[in-house]
Amino acid sequence: MATVFTNGRFFTGSGSETNNDDAAFEECMVIEGDTITHVGRASDEQVAQARAGGAIVRDLGEKYVLPGFIDGHMHLLLLGQSLQKLDLDRCANLADIRSTIRSYAQANPAVPRILCKGWMQSMTDNEALASMLDDLDPRPIYIDAKDLHSTWCNTAALRELDVEAMPDPPGGTIHRDQESGKPSGLLSEAIVFSLIWPHLARVASTDDKLNALRGAIAAYTASGYTGLVDMAMDENSWEALLKLRQQERLTLRIAAHWLIVPSTDPAADLAQVERAIELHAKYNLDTSSDFRIAGIKVICDGVIDGCTAALLEPYTLNGVSCDPLWPAEKLTPVVQRAVQAGLQCALHAIGDATVHTVLNVLEAHASDQPDRRHRIEHLEMTTAEDAARLGKLGITASVQPVHSDPDILRAWPSLIGPERCRRAFAYRDFVDGGAPLAFGSDSPTAPFKPLPNLYTATTRRSARLPASEETVNAHFALPLVTALTAATTGAAYSCFADRITGRLKKGLRADFVVVDMEWSADRLLQAVVEETWFDGKVIARDSIPDTRESRQQSWNLEHLGALSQRGFRSGAEPAVRQSIKTLPRGLKLARIRKASPSNGLARNSRIFVIIWKIQPANADLTSTNPAAMQTQDANAHGPASDSDSLGHASAMRLAVVRLQPHSVTGASADGMPVPRSSSDNTVQSPMYAAPAGVD
């Protein structure tokens, strides 16, 4: 039976060849089964025929209908597993990390390993020693860096991995004590995905992996995604996905790129490409369009935060100069074989030196097949000349705007200098040069929700700190139409799914989202995905009552909550008080309690302000109403300060209990239950000093 959707704004792309932000909308859409059969005016004949045939009619109340979002770069099993790991993101220093891990270990005596995420080197003054962790618990402790390019281990984990006598693998480093030569605790780059990921996948049960995948898929569909590109597929992930697909219908279209792990033997490199070719022959666009191997993935350098991305000039901070993990002579035969077999090449390149290298390789060995849609991932630092080459060569710029959030780039000016920062995340250059653009999130290294991703792409402001006016290279900001297209049509194009999905167009699959929003880049953080449709069926619904007032209520509380998830610098008090003033009609602030010596909350170096209740005026937080968050004893929240001032410089954190009807309670790093709001994901960024030199 057909369904007619009316009284909506159906996004169909740009309405002008001269104005990239001139959006085109239709007013009605008809679907039948899993297919869109009409997009146009409500008065069109096709609509009348559908109605006459007994179609279901849905009045959307002037909501927006967008193509289903497609994450152009993510890691599905890693995301699912990450959702189950101890999050250290809100920790500010080593003391916080130790306290958090110790509390978790005491509360979870039965888990065989303590798996953590969200650490950044700056939290621990760029040190990561096993000795910093060994006294916390005898079990193996694995701490993922936020970028997933390094893992910090205790001695038990190092022993379990058996790395003491192991030489550094190609492209990877086992950091060692300079005197004893023994592993010191940090493993970085290629060894993470050649040793640690496979090891932890082997020791995880099949049920654990399947449940992790289910959790990741559920989170994605609830966020408005109908497709994704898994950008580091390996045997463990593929086996788990195959098993899940045999057990149940997947509600995401999955294209995957097979990870090629560097080795010292060129034949071993090519053997991995042959495995990708073998799988592609069975799982391709013609035989398995919703679950397939699209090509290969090669991680050609590291990350700027770890000083492992290859730059044309040494790092400003320490003078370090590193080469790409895959120099041209090593990368070339891998690319040649993949191109020969009809596979798509996806090459991770963050530093400008690596971008230049991979462009040269693709130009020399793949430019005669532009229809293969080869792609470069990340492109965080590019020269203007290389940015222009992308379009000339038909190479897709696969980028993750969430990585350009000002809140996570505070270390960059000291790492690479203010002048080079001005070339960071040059998305506008890519578009102006004619490159196809695809958006992704790189989850679980970063939050995955699409609307905050669009916000950062279009405003260059922080989705993590909505009250901040700080920007990163605002001249590279994209029009909303361009950004939305990159997150839907562009991502579909990047993985050859554009003949199936990615637009609201007759003949394509009925993959779409219903969004309550205003068409404004500045208002994207207030937008709410109300429904996600996949193959003509609704697979996720938002549970907030369908009123503008409830949306405003949710947003204002999230806005206040965002202020709570950071350490504040001086001048925080006005922002906090202003957020309190913006609480919508019908809510009240029941009590604010400050830390002080007299009430026992003041300890050590932090102060906590506890907002005990933010509630509807008629709500009863003493009941078991799941819409209400219960208060917690502030004594359990960790160290506090002797200061009793909201304006205390840099050493304060605000802990907030927020009301949000559709929230799920999660444990914060300092032990405080907080709701997971629509602007929160798997990771948040730590507190840094104020930035310099980034626009």
Q: Please report the DSSP string for 49-89 in residue order.
A: HHHHTT-EEEE-TT-EEEEPEEEEEE-HHHHHHHTTSEE-T
Q: Which residues pair with 534 in a beta bridge?
A: 537
Cβ(21)–Cβ(477) below 8 Å: no
Query: 360, 331, 402: which is closest to 73 by C-alpha?
Result: 402
pLDDT for position 583: 42
Angle between helices 548-564 and 572-581 (to 10 degrees): 160
Which residue's entry shows tokens 């592609």?
A: 280
Cβ(667)–Cβ(636) below 8 Å: no
Cβ(300)–Cβ(354) below 8 Å: yes
Cβ(592)–Cβ(621) below 8 Å: no
Cβ(46)–Cβ(61) below 8 Å: no
Please give the CATH architecture assigned to the domain spanning 87-202. Roll (3.10)
pLDDT for position 158: 98
Cβ(192)–Cβ(172) below 8 Å: yes
pLDDT for position 172: 86
Structure tokens at 155: 């001695």
Q: Which residues pair with 468 in a beta bridge?
A: none
Q: Say how far apart CA 182 and CA 179 lie, in whole Å.
A: 8
pLDDT for position 333: 98
Which residue's entry shows tokens 């799988």?
A: 279
Q: Say how far apart CA 450 and CA 458 lie, in whole Å.
A: 12
Rg value, the chain, Cα: 25
pLDDT for position 543: 56
Cβ(150)–Cβ(192) below 8 Å: yes
Tell me how far CA of residue 665 lies from CA of 460, 463, 479, 595, 677, in angstroms: 30, 21, 35, 24, 9
pLDDT for position 303: 92
Q: What does the DSSP 8-state code read for residue 384?
A: H
Q: Say how far apart CA 251 and CA 68 lie, in whole Å.
A: 12
Reduced to 3 states (helix: H, G, I; strand: E, B; else coil), residue 581 is helix
- Give Cβ neighbours of residue 427 (< 8 Å, ≥ 6 apart): 397, 399, 401, 437, 457, 476, 477, 478
Stated length of the chain: 695
Cβ(78)–Cβ(241) below 8 Å: no
* Residues in the chain, pLDDT under 50: 544-695
Instruction: Output the pTM of the full model.
Output: 0.77
Q: Say how far apart CA 651 and CA 49 lie, in whole Å.
A: 66
Structure tokens at 459: 């405003």
Q: Say how far apart CA 2 and CA 248 lie, in whole Å.
A: 25
Return the domain boundaries, the chain. 87-202
Q: Would you say the C-alpha torsion 79, 80, 81, 87 has a positive or negative sign?
A: positive
pLDDT for position 17: 65
CB atoms within 10 A of CB 350: 28
pLDDT for position 189: 87
pLDDT for position 18: 61
Q: Say how far apart CA 523 and CA 509 lie, in whole Å.
A: 29
